[in-house]
Structure 1
Amino acid sequence: MAWKFDEKSPIYLQLANHIKTQIVSQEIKPGEQLPTVRDFAQQAGVNPNTMQRAFILLEQEGMVFSKRTAGRFVTDNRDLIEKTREELALAEMEQFVYQMMKLGFDQVSLAEILEKHLKGD
């Protein structure tokens, strides 16, 4: 089944972020071999060149590495994975706060509604 993409950013960035999310959430484990570019492209419903571009970005960031004839693997660097997890979380929170402010919430009311939600009220 093809992945869903938005028009706000390039598809290769969205692919890279999706894979990073899979890595930081342990859906793809450290040291695990990734599917081939073609297999991943087919799963995502994108051109293999677009997937290759996402993999190159992930390699530049250190999230994955290539072994010459064996394919690509997720980094074992748990500090990098945790740092990336925190960066992704911060970006999500910033987007959430921005959208809530657009809806008219101030910091106090936002904190109150968030606390209420987390308590299950």
Structure 2
Amino acid sequence: MATHTATLFSIATGASDPIYRQLIEQVRRLIAAAVLKPGDILPSVRDVALTLAVNPMTVSKAYNMLETEGLLSRSRGIGMLVAERQTPIRQDREHLLRPTLERAAAEARQLELDPEAVITLFAKILKEQK
């Protein structure tokens, strides 16, 4: 069981997504990437709010929504914990990637690109090193 600090999160103040949604997506991605594991302790609402300079109710809303989804669980005296896995990690990762791929597919259709060419380009990009 690892304890994480509030520096785990970051927000983009100019983004179109509300801050609580940004936090939710970050937690989902950290869980899918196994950075956050079942039983890990998340930083307190107060710590996250102070670190990110946001209203504590914003952080609380994100944590509550993640608890409702079953990704987090509340433990009296400890705080918010990453819940035990409900779905396979692979399924989580695919779910997180899907919106990005849907946007790319829409753009490819707008550019009237051949689906085979798009898939070939995507495969090439996947093989490239950062």
Change (3 A) 1:117 1:33: same
Cα RMSD, aligned residues only: 2.3
> How far apart are 1:32 and its partner, in Å?
0.3
Change (3 A) 1:55 1:112: same
C-alpha separation in 2, matches of 1:106 and 1:44:
44
Aligned: 1:65 with 2:73: yes
- Secondary structure class of the residue paired with 1:73: strand
Gaps of 5+ in 1: none
> How far apart are 1:103 and its partner, in Å?
4.4
1:111 aligned residue: 119
2:4 aligned residue: none
| Equivalent position amino acid for 1:64 in 2 | L
> How far apart are 1:119 and its partner, in Å?
4.0
2:29 aligned residue: 21
> How far apart are 1:90 and its partner, in Å?
1.7
Residues 45-60 of structure 1 correspond to what in structure 2 (within 5 A)? 45-60=53-68
Q: 1:34 aligns with which of 42, 46, 70?
A: 42
- Cα pair 2:11 2:19 within 8 Å, conserved: no
- Cα pair 2:21 2:62 within 8 Å, conserved: yes
| Equivalent position amino acid for 2:72 in 1 | V
- Secondary structure class of the residue paired with 1:33: coil
**Aligned pairs, number:** 119
2:100 aligned residue: 92
Aligned: 1:10 with 2:18: yes
- Secondary structure class of the residue paired with 2:41: coil
Report percent identity of matched pairs: 31
Q: Tell me the TM-score normalised to structure 1 length.
A: 0.80
- Secondary structure class of the residue paired with 1:35: coil
